[in-house]
Structure 1
């Protein structure tokens, strides 16, 4: 046995011994977290082992929830959900739980955002190493960007990578009809998250952390901002506080300064859209292989959630044979034509010409780009075009 093989075998044995020790101690939650860590560790090098461990993890989750099946990515019952704080009047839980510990596909993000999210994860994973130097990991971060760019999915990815569930503060429950209770609800939810060293997401934080100069809000809502300022300042190293907003201009400036990191999400670039289209096509990727560049050009400027809706509609149409592939493609990109800039229309025209399914005249009618311009960038027109119309 080679030295590398021997070290690898020793590493696996050590992991299994630690897993057995946790199981023997009847610490179910710690055992689950360690299982999730092993699944990520061995997914590439030992896929069969990772798959079997994944099945074991899923079976423990199923038993703990009264034999109900957990649906990946949906709000689910956590082992501590019975203790989650609730609104005294409505009895609604103040926190929703997303359990992706069994695995979650990495979000499709621009490189700068991907690096920032990766840094948060690594700091938490290497927190002891930082602590040895007297350094705290990032305790809080605010995710900023328009809807559908991956803010919530990124929060779920962070929690999943750390072997934890994502807790989301449910603002509809926190905002009591009795405004005097809203502050109490907010503190109860935040205190519970701190106590359990949770990864907590405050979604749409602008709803409870508006600028205190906003004259349209009454005093109670302004006092919520003060609560948030105190909580972010005092958030412990053991937990991670995330916030998300679509409207950064509404958030009180004092709150921005309290967060350790600001991560700005922009609309996806062409490369990200191409990657997303391939993922969203799933089993139909081979069918639409020659059209992926056309779709990427035609869906430029859209959020990934909008791209996913368009691709799902495309796949449904193909499955039900409601129209030819060319007409389905036309329908998908025609809806986005008015949103494209002049440069993006030219890019779409070039990709359509490369596909070779239609003439330059047809492309010009679709995109508004002159035939001479198309010819200049894409070469001569084919003699015949099957057409998209």
Structure 2
């Protein structure tokens, strides 16, 4: 950097620092000082060291809580959340599930990946003693409703930290350069607040820089994200989630330590989810959980939960028979199922004896010969009357 450029930067930085000091916001001043420490660490190391020492001294003298403290916050205080300077709205949404949170329903291999990350952070001292750092960052990839955010909450709870989710509605700003500043503030605050940070819908702020449809501001935003990811501490955990991995800049992909692939759940996982969503009603619906799982297979677990809760409401309000409700739910989804799923549903209905083979065949399109082959003779005839 040329000397004239350094001088211009000094003047600009001093003016910004004076403006923050005049506003009376002590925390903003400290955050800006921390930024200057990082900025001048390479080009002006002596100056950076002096700023760092001043910052540490001010923290020692301060009697109030500060987001710049590196140690854990007092038990009766909460870390200050980053706010947009103009609107004063929080830039993050907070989930603190440390009291209790059930493990998400995921395939075994994915659950193991998540548990390994948790154990690494629980035993971070052991790893560091051998010169090994734990996983610092991971990206969660998959369609909506498959448990990405719930998994992030679960990981944060297991390592005894809150989860901060980047709130795109307040972080994104129409003012030039403001979005990047908001983003840096979130990263810095999350590090100081010792929170797990989740960049949800990261593809919206980290698009490929080769995309000519985006303005220069978004491209600069990607550069800012890359810098913050590089500076993320080994003691922290940074997560990102996306439904569109193809949109993300390749340079960001290379910076994640782990990639967690979330897919739509299989039949066994759906059945397990149904049992959990049924709650206290699980026992009375137990004989037909397999039937419902066959019909709901391929849907996201959030959609499965919505269907089960609707069914439970109907059971309570209309006093309907569990069998009738389970069959109705299954048949509502039969039209959107592929051939194999429809066959599995039809066989499940036949085995349960819920209706005759004729009825099942008419509703699902599965041939009666197929039903007899896999489920045996029908215990019902015609419209459902039992054989004599």
TM class, shorter-chain normalised?
A: 0.7 to 0.9
Cα distance, 1:329 vs structure 2: 2.1
Cross-structure match for 1:95: 92
**Partners in 2 of 1:117 and 1:168 — Cα distance?**
18
Cα distance, 1:385 vs structure 2: 7.6
2:338 is aligned, of 329, 337, 341, to 341
Cross-structure match for 1:38: none
Cα distance, 1:195 vs structure 2: 1.9
Cα distance, 1:280 vs structure 2: 0.3
Preserved contact between residue 359 and residue 383 of structure 2 (Cα < 8 Å): no
Residues 156, 386 of structure 1: alpha-carbon distance in 2 compared, 3 angstrom cutoff: farther
**Partners in 1 of 2:176 and 2:372 — Cα distance?**
65
Cross-structure match for 1:293: 290
Cα RMSD of the aligned pairs, angstroms, is 1.9
Cross-structure match for 1:227: 224
**Partners in 2 of 1:353 and 1:365 — Cα distance?**
13
Cα distance, 1:197 vs structure 2: 2.7
Matches within 5 A, 1:296-307: 296-307=293-304
Cα distance, 1:164 vs structure 2: 1.2
Cross-structure match for 1:80: 78
**Partners in 1 of 2:150 and 2:225 — Cα distance?**
23
Preserved contact between residue 280 and residue 311 of structure 1 (Cα < 8 Å): yes
2:281 is aligned, of 274, 278, 284, to 284
Cα distance, 1:322 vs structure 2: 6.1
Cross-structure match for 2:134: 137
Cross-structure match for 1:218: 215
Secondary structure (helix, strand or coil) at the match of 2:113 reads: helix
Residues 132, 290 of structure 1: alpha-carbon distance in 2 compared, 3 angstrom cutoff: same
Cα distance, 1:384 vs structure 2: 4.5
1:120 matches 2:101: no
Deviations 1:346-389 (A, max 9, x none): 111111111112111111112110111111111101134876xx
Q: Which structure is larger by alpha-carbon Rg, 1 or 2?
A: 2
1:356 matches 2:353: yes
Cross-structure match for 1:196: 193
1:259 matches 2:248: no
2:150 is aligned, of 146, 149, 153, to 153
1:368 matches 2:346: no
Structure 1: 5+ residue stretches without partners: 1-26, 28-32, 34-59, 65-78
**Partners in 1 of 2:153 and 2:208 — Cα distance?**
28
Preserved contact between residue 357 and residue 385 of structure 1 (Cα < 8 Å): no
Preserved contact between residue 110 and residue 260 of structure 2 (Cα < 8 Å): yes
Q: TM-score, normalised by structure 2?
A: 0.77
Q: TM-score, normalised by structure 1?
A: 0.77
**Partners in 2 of 1:90 and 1:366 — Cα distance?**
56
1:237 matches 2:234: yes
Matches within 5 A, 1:62-73: none
Preserved contact between residue 301 and residue 339 of structure 1 (Cα < 8 Å): no
Secondary structure (helix, strand or coil) at the match of 2:86 reads: coil
Deviations 1:222-243 (A, max 9, x none): 1111111111122101110000
Higher mean alpha-carbon deviation, 330-339 vs 108-117, is at: 330-339
Deviations 1:40-70 (A, max 9, x none): xxxxxxxxxxxxxxxxxxxx99xx5xxxxxx
**Partners in 2 of 1:383 and 1:309 — Cα distance?**
32
Cross-structure match for 1:30: none
Residues 386, 240 of structure 1: alpha-carbon distance in 2 compared, 3 angstrom cutoff: farther
Secondary structure (helix, strand or coil) at the match of 2:283 reads: coil
Deviations 1:72-110 (A, max 9, x none): xxxxxxx435x2111112211012110101110111001
